[in-house]
Amino acid sequence: MSSYKDRIRQHIRKLWPTDIPELRKFQRELFGGPNAIQAQEKHHQWLFDHNPFNDGDAPQFWIYRDDKGIIRGQQAGIPYVLQGANESWRASWGIDLMLSPEYRSRGVGAVLNSEYMETNEVTTAIGITEVARKAHCRAGWLDLGTIPLYARPISTEGVQAGFPTSTLQGRLAVLFVWPLLRLLENVWLFYVRLRGIRLEPIKKFDERVDAVWERIRSYYPILGRRDLKSLRWRFDAAPQPERYHKYYLYQGPRLRGYAVICYGKRGDRPAAVLTDFLCPPDLQKALFALCVTASRSKGANDLHCAVLSPHITTADMTMVGFLPLPHRSRFMAFTDKIRGPSRALLADPKKWFITMASSDMEWMYFLG
């Protein structure tokens, strides 16, 4: 006699091209209308169909159909390569688990999630709610804490957004905080010029970034692969690639790293997001300072950054003028398939390197 979970499992399978029209109807209804990013065809094709780390030809996308054959649920994943010092793992960011209201709290989501996780050695997720966190912990997931979020005001409007001028605190902030931030920026500009450190804009990533990746990855015990194959897909081939302003970081004639800044609207204000970066730890603060200047030149009010790194603390960010924000994203991982010392390594949040390019943080941030 089949169990309840087995009966649910019989209604779950991977997404087929013929499912797309009905899936779009489901997504428009559940994710907030036709403009929901999940329902946008180009976004779907890029994120799932064209992901270079798909298993075979099948994207990581599962659907649940009820007894009448109607789509009532979905679970998606963004596959990637998780890199350690001497080994790598087939990993995936779990995103967009969604069920019709009448199918929630019936075990369908848990079975959808388990079917998806079967294909990965390591499964990771960001933005977990407190209710979901407890459920994930019961299922054996590791709670790796939260990912700090920072904002760097780069205009008086940016300062006013954080300290409304209708209050005394806000008026004092504009009078005193803003001049201090400008002074701090000028100090860093003097420092980077003295050290010969600069950002140069690029149109697309090229083969040189592979050498950067190989030189720098050893500084970070655990991180998603950032070679040319990964970066070309994530940024050069993305829908609306013009939103991503890409830079190489130089020190003198040497290419030392890269940065990607995305521009958009945060509420009704122009904002920038430091979406991704990679460089030696001793150049990180200089890179942040140069990104502040680059964002100012594009008219952004402030520069936002979410980062978890073994080499970055809140004190480091404050030195460049970034202010910690109260909102943080919960980060969890499922590593039960990993054995030996690697499992202990993956359980240590201080070993991970996470940026806004991880999972769906960047575009969810602009939408939120």
Convert the pLDDT of each residue in 53-67 to its tens digit: 997 768 999 999 999
State the pLDDT at residue 162.
58
pLDDT of residue 326: 86
116 and 154 in a single domain? The answer is no
Q: What domain count does the chain have?
A: 2
Amino acid identity, position 255:
L
Model confidence at 179: pLDDT above 90 = no
Q: Has residue 136 been placed in a domain?
A: no
The confidence score (pLDDT) of residue 53 equals: 95
Domain assignment present for residue 12? The answer is yes
Distance CA 280, CA 69 (A): 53
- pLDDT class for 269, splitting at 50, 70, 90? confident
Q: What confidence score (pLDDT) does residue 164 get?
A: 54
Once rounded to an integer, what is the mean pLDDT over residues 325-334? 92
More confident residue, 55 or 114: 114
pLDDT class for 360, splitting at 50, 70, 90? confident
pLDDT in tens, 20-30: 999 999 999 99
Apex CA 233: angle with CA 17 and CA 124, to 5°?
80
Q: What is the mean pLDDT of the chain?
A: 92
3-state secondary structure of 40: coil
179 and 80 both lie in a single domain: no
* Whether the predicted pLDDT of 150 surpasses 60: yes
In a domain, 141, yes or no: no
Co-location of 156 and 283 in the same domain? yes
- Mutual angle of helices 178-195 and 284-297, in 10-degree steps: 120
pLDDT for the residue numbered 56: 73
Q: Are residues 115 and 233 in the same domain?
A: no
Query: 94 and 215 in one domain?
Result: no
219 and 106 share a domain?
no
Look at 220-234, 262-276, 326-340 and tell me which has the smallest mean pLDDT: 262-276
* Ramachandran bin of 267, using left for φ above 0, alpha for ψ from -120 to 50, beta for the remaining angles: left
- Residue 161 — pLDDT band, cuts 50, 70, 90? low
Whether residue 176 has pLDDT greater than 80: no
Instruction: Indicate whether 257 pLDDT > 70.
Output: yes
Cα–Cα distance for residue pair 283/286, rounded to 1 Å: 5
Q: Band of the pLDDT at 166, cuts 50, 70, 90?
A: low
Q: Residue 165: is its pLDDT beyond 60?
A: no
Q: Are strands 71-83 and 122-126 parallel, antiparallel or unpaired?
A: unpaired
Average pLDDT in the 235-243 region?
93
What is the predicted pLDDT for the residue at 362?
Answer: 84
* Alpha-carbon span 248 to 199, nearest angstrom: 6
Across the range 129-153, mean pLDDT stands at 93
Asked, for residue 348, whether it belongs to a domain, the answer is: no
> In this structure, are 109 and 161 located in the same domain?
no
CATH number, domain containing residue 322 = 3.40.630.30
In a domain, 333, yes or no: no
Residues 155 and 116 in one domain: no
pLDDT of residue 133: 92
Q: Are residues 22 and 66 in the same domain?
A: yes
Residue 66 domain flag? yes
Q: Domain span at residue 169? A: 149-327
111 burial (CB, 10 Å; 0-12 / 13-18 / 19+) is buried
Asked if residue 291 is part of any domain, the answer here is yes
Region of poorest pLDDT, from 72-76, 156-160, 248-252:
156-160
Q: Indicate if 305 and 247 belong to the same structural domain.
A: yes
**310, 183: one domain:** yes
Q: Is residue 125 part of a domain?
A: no
* Same domain for 85 and 212: no
